[in-house]
């Protein structure tokens, strides 16, 4: 039996997921746009396969709800959410490649390189990564009638590029492969602080960008922007611990992807270091931390607080 508040939260999450699905469907239009020579059919089909028809769209939801704190028009936040989701989807396609994590299953379906082929999957990732910045550069991201709209768009570009790049997601994936002993055959023992750094880069940076993007769109002051950054950082950590718990405690049918992989790879996770019980305590502390960070927004932050609880309690 779910409470009224939970039902409302789930409905909001679903509504944004529907809007993002529709927007991505438009952005990945198979026909060439004005000024384009062509959009290769197989590439578009594979990009749509990798992007549409699934996912909770948690990252776009964070953009939409953090932007709502500042009464940013919803269609601006959705554009940024779609760009962020392109980055997220590209990273899944490239991480699943045989040379990387070599996964056959994703969201219960064959991974892109299995459904198509490896060359296509490489180009799908490259295309989605590039499209994200194309989207952020468009006028639809910020109100042209207000001065400083180009500055908002260029701040979003820089902030997303840093979250997704060498010092963020890409660097985090590199550290993760190194931690698995992929480069020198030895597996370094990562302590808690090294695991936290790795995860802050690999998964935390994009989630934090989602929250910070709302502050940028909303022309937030420093205090508000810092609050959203702290919130984003806490739910980033919570997300990863919940993910690692699911890898230990769920099954492939529920999760739509392989489980037990971390243990099989002797991977250093906070669940492995703290134990499931210790990890669950840490998760609760992070939810409290996320909640506390939002105090500056008072009652307006209700949905984001529910989002933190959702992230910690998710079952798939």
Q: Tell me how far, at minimum, the Cβ of 87 lies from its own copies, in Å.
A: 9
Question: d(Cα 199, Cα 111) in Å, to the nearest integer?
Answer: 23
For residue 114, count CB atoms less than 10 angstroms from its CB and return exposed for 0-12, middle for 13-18, buried for 19 or more: middle
Q: Which two tokens stand for residue 185?
A: 């055959």
d(CA 188, CA 178): 8
Closest CB to its own copies among 170 and 273?
170
Least CB distance to its own copies at residue 104 (A): 16
For residue 176, give both structure tokens.
């993760």
- Segment 231-290, which members bind its own copies (CB under 8 A)? none
How is residue 96 annotated by DSSP? H
Can you read off the two tokens belonging to residue 294?
Answer: 């939002």
Touching its own copies, residues 11-50 (CB under 8 A): 32-33, 35-40, 42-44, 47
Question: 140 exposed, middle or buried (CB, 10 Å; 0-12, 13-18, 19+)?
Answer: middle
Site for its own copies in 80-109 (CB under 8 A): 90, 94, 97, 99-100
What are the tokens at 178? 């190194």
Q: Which of 48, 56, 162, 225 binds its own copies (CB under 8 A)?
A: 162
The answer to whether 225 contacts its own copies (rule: CB under 8 A) is no
Shortest gap between Cβ of 78 and its own copies (angstroms)? 18
* Residues of this chain that bind its own copies (CB under 8 A): 32-33, 35-40, 42-44, 47, 90, 94, 97, 99-100, 117-123, 125-127, 129-131, 133-134, 136-138, 148, 150-151, 153-155, 157-158, 160-162, 164-168, 170-171, 173-175, 177-178, 182-183, 197, 200-201
């Amino acid at each position: 039996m779910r409470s009224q508040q939970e039902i409302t939260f789930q409905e909001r999450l679903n509504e944004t997921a529907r809007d993002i699905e529709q927007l991505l469907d438009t952005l990945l239009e198979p026909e060439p746009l004005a000024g384009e020579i062509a959009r290769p059919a197989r590439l578009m089909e594979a990009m749509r396969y990798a992007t549409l028809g699934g996912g909770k769209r948690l990252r776009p939801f964070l953009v939409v709800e953090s932007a709502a704190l500042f009464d940013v028009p919803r269609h601006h936040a959705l554009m940024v959410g779609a760009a962020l989701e392109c980055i997220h989807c590209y990273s899944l396609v490239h991480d699943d490649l045989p040379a990387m994590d070599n996964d056959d299953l994703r969201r219960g379906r064959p991974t892109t390189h299995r459904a198509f082929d490896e060359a296509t999957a490489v180009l799908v990732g490259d295309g989605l990564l590039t499209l994200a910045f194309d989207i952020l550069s468009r006028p639809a991201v910020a109100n042209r009638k207000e001065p400083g709209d180009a500055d908002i768009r260029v701040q979003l570009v820089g902030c997303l590029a840093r979250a997704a790049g060498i010092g963020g997601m890409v660097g985090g994936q590199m550290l993760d492969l190194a931690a698995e002993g992929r480069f020198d055959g030895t597996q370094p023992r990562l302590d808690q602080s090294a695991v936290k750094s790795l995860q802050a880069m690999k998964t935390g940076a994009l989630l934090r960008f989602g929250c910070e993007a709302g502050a940028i769109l909303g022309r937030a002051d420093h205090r508000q922007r810092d609050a959203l950054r702290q919130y984003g950082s806490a739910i980033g950590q919570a997300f990863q611990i919940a993910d690692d718990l699911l890898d230990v405690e769920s099954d492939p049918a529920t999760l739509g992807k392989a489980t037990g992989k971390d243990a099989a790879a002797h991977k250093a996770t906070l669940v492995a270091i703290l134990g499931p019980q210790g990890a669950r305590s840490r998760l609760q502390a992070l939810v409290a931390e996320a909640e506390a960070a939002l105090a500056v927004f008072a009652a307006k932050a209700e949905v984001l607080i529910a989002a933190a609880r959702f992230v910690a309690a998710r079952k798939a």
